[in-house]
């Protein structure tokens, strides 16, 4: 199966490494030239809790228009970039190509549906901390249990075949993956979790374990989670709160020493964040459904203001 990973930064490279280790033929597409060149020339150094290995045989490109038609295209750019990136990605999407979003946030499937039919779209999420340690070097920090969930927007023979093949490839590569009939609870669970520790850690400028260790920080995270669970319940997804309560020790144990991605964007690199598809999306769904989301709303407003004013902030 020929798979293109559109956006091969930290998460895209880690996901691609598992798939390559599982036997997939991979095209990595990213504008980070040093990373693409190093991976093409010397292979991808893949670090996991079990050790380090070098994976070879990747094809790399700066632009999806140069790689030909794929069997599967996986989107791993920031969710806020999907619409723009898809315009350049369409040349590698043929009439049988299945398009998969494994991106953070809510609404990625709706954006993809503007470009390809819904019966060729899958979406999901991974429970894996990731890092790009340098050109050609990626690090996986997986949580315990099932680490990747994905499913089809519309279940049909094409997506069933593609989903089962993707599941098998991840599993063979060492990533515990599941192709689900209804993936929405898992996507919402991850979005709610991310909105808590990502959003709050970004505002507080703390690592994940430091946010949870402080009683005020933890209390804010739990309020963000409770609001997200109420919105999910109003959507008919079910009661996710027991899952969120059980998730806290896993998050602290596996991601505690980590500045989450939004904190890296807002604090370290001064880049656009994914606030609009995390806390912001929960707040928008809440407004639509009549569910109050004051914590998610104020965190969205604070992070949005921060990223609008990077060049004016006091640095000490």
Q: Can you give the CATH number for the domain in which 168 is found?
A: 3.40.50.720
Query: How many C-beta atoms lie closer than 10 Å to residue 122's C-beta?
Result: 25
277 three-class SS: helix
Identify the CATH number of the domain in which residue 220 sits: 1.10.1040.10
Same domain, 134 and 241: no
Same domain, 161 and 14: yes
Q: Is 103 within 8 Å of 75 (Cβ atoms)?
A: yes
CA nearest neighbour of 197 among 185, 187, 207? 207
120 membership: H or E segment, kind and range: none
Q: What is the pLDDT of residue 259?
A: 87
Q: Which residues pair with 123 in a beta bridge?
A: 101, 151
Name the domain count of the chain.
Answer: 2
Q: Is 176 within 8 Å of 148 (Cβ atoms)?
A: yes
Same domain, 138 and 202: no
Q: Which residues pair with 152 in a beta bridge?
A: 122
Q: Is 200 within 8 Å of 263 (Cβ atoms)?
A: no
Tell me the C-alpha distance between 43 and 45, whole Å. 7
Record the tokens describing residue 168, joined without a space: 């098998």
Tell me the C-alpha distance between 75 and 197, whole Å. 23
Residue with tokens 């505002």: 203
Q: Is 203 within 8 Å of 216 (Cβ atoms)?
A: no
Same domain, 106 and 239: no
Q: Going by C-beta distance under 8 Å and a sequence separation of 6 or more, which residues neighbour residue 53?
A: 45, 46
Q: Going by C-beta distance under 8 Å and a sequence separation of 6 or more, which residues neighbour residue 203?
A: 299, 302, 303
Same domain, 136 and 248: no
- Burial classification of residue 134, based on how many CB atoms lie within 10 Å of its CB (0-12 exposed, 13-18 middle, 19 or more buried): exposed
Same domain, 244 and 151: no
The domain of 207 spans: 185-312
Same domain, 167 and 269: no
Same domain, 52 and 175: yes
Tell me the C-alpha distance between 16 and 169, whole Å. 10
313 membership: H or E segment, kind and range: none
Tell me the C-alpha distance between 12 and 30, whole Å. 9
* Tens digit of pLDDT at every position of the chain (316 positions): 899 999 999 999 999 999 999 999 999 999 999 999 999 999 999 999 999 999 999 999 999 998 999 999 999 998 889 999 999 999 999 999 999 999 989 999 999 999 999 999 999 988 888 889 999 999 998 878 889 999 999 999 999 999 999 999 999 999 999 999 999 999 999 999 999 999 999 999 999 999 999 999 999 999 999 999 999 999 999 999 999 999 899 889 888 888 888 988 998 889 999 999 999 999 999 999 999 999 999 999 999 999 999 999 887 6
- Sheet-wide strand order for 137-142: 51-55, 44-48, 137-142, 128-134
Residue where a domain stops, chosen among 182, 200, 216: 182
Q: Is 227 within 8 Å of 141 (Cβ atoms)?
A: no
Same domain, 229 and 257: yes
């Amino acid at each position: 199966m020929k798979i293109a990973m559109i956006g091969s930064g930290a998460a895209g490279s880690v996901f691609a490494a598992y798939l390559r280790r599982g036997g997939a033929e991979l095209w990595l597409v990213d504008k980070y030239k040093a990373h693409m060149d190093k991976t093409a020339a010397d292979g991808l150094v893949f670090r996991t809790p079990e050790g380090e290995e070098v994976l070879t045989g990747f094809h790399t490109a700066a632009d999806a228009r140069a790689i030909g038609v794929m069997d599967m295209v996986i989107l791993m750019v920031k969710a806020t970039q999907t619409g723009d990136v898809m315009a350049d990605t369409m040349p590698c999407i043929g009439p049988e190509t299945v398009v998969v979003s494994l991106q953070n946030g809510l609404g990625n499937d709706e954006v993809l549906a503007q470009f390809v039919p819904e019966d060729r779209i899958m979406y999901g999420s991974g429970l894996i901390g990731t890092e790009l340690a340098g050109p050609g070097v990626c690090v996986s920090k997986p949580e315990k249990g099932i680490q990747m969930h994905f499913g089809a927007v519309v279940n049909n023979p094409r997506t069933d075949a593609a989903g089962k093949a993707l599941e098998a490839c991840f599993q063979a590569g060492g990533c515990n993956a599941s192709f689900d009939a209804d993936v929405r609870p898992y996507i919402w669970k991850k979005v709610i979790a991310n909105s808590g520790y990502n959003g709050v850690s970004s505002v507080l400028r703390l690592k994940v374990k430091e946010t949870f260790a402080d009683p005020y920080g933890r209390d804010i995270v739990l309020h963000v989670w409770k609001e997200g669970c109420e919105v999910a319940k109003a959507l008919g997804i079910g009661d996710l709160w027991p899952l969120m309560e059980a998730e806290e020790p896993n998050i602290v144990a596996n991601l505690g020493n980590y500045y989450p991605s939004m904190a890296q964007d807002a604090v370290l690199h001064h880049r656009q964040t994914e606030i609009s598809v995390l806390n912001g999306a929960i707040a928008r769904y809440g407004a639509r459904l009549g569910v109050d989301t004051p914590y998610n709303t104020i965190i969205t407003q604070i992070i949005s203001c921060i990223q609008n004013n990077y060049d004016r902030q006091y640095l000490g």
